[in-house]
Amino acid sequence: MKPNLKVKIRDLEFKNPVITASGTFGYGLEYSQFVDLNRLGGIVVKGLSLYPKEGNPPPRIYETPCGMINSIGLQNIGYEVFIKEKLPVLKKFDTNVIVNFFGENLSEYIEIALKLDSTDGIHALEMNVSCPNKNSEWRQMGIDPKLLAQAVKEVRKRISKPLIIKLSPQVTDISLMAKICEEEGADAVSLINTIPAMVIDIKTRRSLIGTLTGGLSGPAIRPVALRAVWEVAKAVNIPVIGMGGITSAEDALQFIIAGATLVAVGTANFINPITTIEVIEGIEKFLVEETIEDIKELIGKLNE
């Protein structure tokens, strides 16, 4: 018996529930030297803006217990270069390409979303409303329910491709934010983004991150992420993409049982570039062992 691993976001089918987390897999191609990209459920590329962004001053990363803090500042090559140089190569792979995007303000969000929506070879859009490193009025959209509702509504009504909203953990009630996304027409929510964090050198009394604070990721945040996914999955009917410190199939399965339809591998790509493949194989093996014919039978099946 070969279990069915296929899942869907609206009408978009994924061959398996394992995708990559934005910002941890570059534009996908950086990892094609290790991973057969055709095997992935999807690739979520590095957050893209209309124009290239230089990002934050170094030092940008610091290792912390079971994880790391980063403050990259959304450095990216911009829409035009992505379309010209990266997408034509990505298109050759048989996997879903999801473009994570952001803007400095709502009109920029709308503008890039429109462009991505009309570009062939992009299967879905992931809207970043939750980057902790950005400075703009719309930085608040991930934590302000009114701004979030307005932003999702304005983007949604203009685009036809599946729209995923990537949520911040930096709120009191993340399921409320997810419900707002669902009400305003989002097709899925992904969570969690990194958690704001800090580390200090006691001798110099300076932060070890150039921008003083950054976002914490890796297994250190996994239990926090898992609980958030569980809360959100109970609250909404749209698919939830679970992420936060997944390093193995066992980790990923916890998220699926908590209610995630898809799971994203993020920081683990840095410590083992073939984590995605190991997760896919491990999930399949588990389903066989547990005689579960379809992954959907496991989604959200936490015994309470």
Q: Is residue 97 near other proteins by the rule CB under 8 A? A: no
Among 57, 88, 121, 223, binds other proteins (CB under 8 A): 57
- Quick check: 100 and 22 in contact, CB under 8 A? yes
Judged by beta carbon, residue 66 or residue 147, the one nearer other proteins is 66
Closest CA relative to residue 10, chosen from 262, 259, 188: 188
Give the range of 29-37, 106-114, 188-196, 225-233 binding other proteins by CB under 8 A.
29-37
Q: Is residue 16 near other proteins by the rule CB under 8 A? A: no
Closest CA relative to residue 127, chosen from 115, 110, 145: 110
CA 172 to chain centre: 20
**Residue 278 CB-half CA count within 13 A:** 15
Which residue of the set 35, 98, 131, 263 is catalytic? 131
Q: Is residue 42 near other proteins by the rule CB under 8 A? A: no
Q: Is residue 50 near other proteins by the rule CB under 8 A? A: no
Q: Is residue 23 near other proteins by the rule CB under 8 A? A: yes
Q: Is residue 174 near other proteins by the rule CB under 8 A? A: no
- Quick check: 276 and 20 in contact, CB under 8 A? yes
Judged by beta carbon, residue 55 or residue 196, the one nearer other proteins is 55
Strands (DSSP E) contained in the chain are 7-9, 12-14, 18-20, 42-48, 61-64, 67-70, 96-101, 124-128, 163-166, 188-191, 195-197, 200-201, 206-207, 214-217, 240-243, 262-265
Q: Is residue 250 near other proteins by the rule CB under 8 A? A: no
Give least dist CB 220 to other proteins, A.
8
Among 3, 67, 215, 244, binds other proteins (CB under 8 A): 67
Within residues 183-242, the interface with other proteins by CB under 8 A covers: 218-219
Q: Is 181 a catalytic residue?
A: no
DSSP label of 213: -
Phi–psi pair at 68, nearest 5 degrees: -155, 160
Interface residues with other proteins (CB under 8 A)? 23-26, 30-31, 33-36, 46, 54-55, 57-68, 70, 72, 75, 218-219, 247, 267, 269-274
